[in-house]
Structures are given as C-alpha cells and as structure tokens.
Amino acid sequence: KAGVTQTPRYLIKTRGQQVTLSCSPISGHRSVSWYQQTPGQGLQFLFEYFSETQRNKGNFPGRFSGRQFSNSRSEMNVSTLELGDSALYLCASSLALGRPEAFFGQGTRLTVV
Amino acid sequence: TQLLEQSPQFLSIQEGENLTVYCNSSSVFSSLQWYRQEPGEGPVLLVTVVTGGEVKKLKRLTFQFGDARKDSSLHITAAQPGDTGLYLCAGPDAGNNRKLIWGLGTSLAVNP
C-alpha cells in the first residue's frame, strides 16, 4: 500500500513569488491535513480537508490556501512568499474525520530567498 | 491553551544506554501519540496511548500514559544508532479533536 506522496521534495523560490505544493494521500484516506514545520515553532497546523471541503484552519494568514480534489489529492498554495515561509511543509492523511492518528508524507522543503 | 512540553530538548548517548524522554502538559488529553521523525522525512506514528496509566511496548520502546492523562514518557532500552531521530508527542485539541497539538520534540542522537 503506497504511503503519502508529496511533490516536489525541494523548492527554492524568491520573495514575492507564489508556490503550489501537492499531496496524494494513502489510498482510501479521505482526510488530508497540512502542517508547517520549523525548528523554533515545531509543527504548526495549517488546515484540514475532507470531501473537498476545508474542515479546520490554523492561525495562518490568508496567503496560505489549499484545496482538495474529488480523488482526495490536495494542494496547498502560498502567495507572496516571505523569507519566514521557509520551512518543511508536511501533508498527513487519515481515514476519516475524528481519527487523530496521522500518516505523514516526506514533506516539501521550501526555501525562500 | 493546551501545550505539550517535551524534555529534554536534545539528548546524545552511546549505543547500549537506556534513556527516558518526557511529554508533559497541565491539561488533560483524551489520548497522546508518539512519532519519530528522521532527518528529511515526515513523522512516523509509533504508538497511541488512550487510557490513564496505560503502558505499551514496541520492541525496546516502552510508552506510558500518566494516570491523570496529562503526561507521557517514552523509555528506550539499549539504544541503537537506528533510534536516532526527533521524537514528537501529539494530542487532540480538547476544543477540536480533529486538530493535533504538538510538542517541539526531543532530538536523540545515539552514537555507535
């Protein structure tokens, strides 16, 4: 059974640009959550999608957005990149809402220069 | 606001030693999970503890959930270099159990 797949693995972008990250959850999993991980802040919850609808949102500015497709694949977008957006972005999938155990992808390492 | 504090922040030991890392909170959690994250990878779920006082074993790893469900510990016996990684604890937010609250982790290095 394939795990959670995130693409790309690494990205370098310039301040002011926008970026789109992709996540394919484990087959059969319908809930996808996104996290930002930095050394000082740890894992910070961005948002959760289930059945193509955003069900939960963390405390991030509107520059961070996401969506989920009918096949449960998800994308997140960050517009007007700032240096502080440099981080490891992790996607996690779970079977359904209310299941707290999360299965993570390898992440996308975003560097903003 | 629920917080999870992990200690120690860093730990460097020799192969064969035993160690314990802690995950503490002033709040009650319905469950706690432990993950291990290796460099350049996402966290991998190790265990979920649900009942106060529960002890779970995973080979050389022993996980305990405090009686009051406010804390948890992870004990590793005879650590091996393959145990190296960032150990994270996480628990459901009481106000929204679909959202996980995370500790900052304990970074463990096991030297051969």
pLDDT per residue as tens digits for the range B24-83: 999 999 999 999 999 888 999 999 999 999 999 999 999 999 999 999 999 999 999 999
DSSP string, chain A: ----EEE-SEEEE-TT--EEEEEEPPTT--EEEEEEEETTTEEEEEEEEETTEEEEE-S--TTEEEEE-TTS-EEEEE-S--GGG-EEEEEEEESSTT----EE---EEEEE-
The pLDDT value given to residue B98? 77
Q: Which residues 7-26 in chain B show a CB within 8 A of chain A?
A: none
The pLDDT value given to residue B100? 87
pLDDT per residue as tens digits for the range B87-103: 999 998 888 777 889 99
* Arithmetic mean of pLDDT over chain B: 94
Q: Between A92, A100, A105, which is nearest B31 by CB?
A: A100
CB atoms near residue A53 (< 10 Å): 9
Residue A76 CA: distances (Å) to CA of A48, A63, A69, B95, B96: 11, 10, 12, 25, 22
Distance from CA of A35 to the nearest CA of B (A): 10
Say yes or no for a CB contact (<8 Å) between A107 and B31. no
pLDDT per residue as tens digits for the range A50-102: 999 999 899 999 999 999 999 999 999 999 999 999 999 999 998 876 666 78
* Arithmetic mean of pLDDT over chain A: 93
B34 CB neighbours in chain A (<8 A) are none
Output A99 or B23, whichever has higher pLDDT. Answer: B23
The pLDDT value given to residue B57? 97
A90 CB neighbours in chain B (<8 A) are 42-43
pLDDT per residue as tens digits for the range A5-60: 999 999 999 999 999 999 999 999 999 999 999 988 889 999 999 999 999 899 99
The pLDDT value given to residue A101? 74
| pLDDT grade for A1, boundaries at 50, 70 and 90 | low
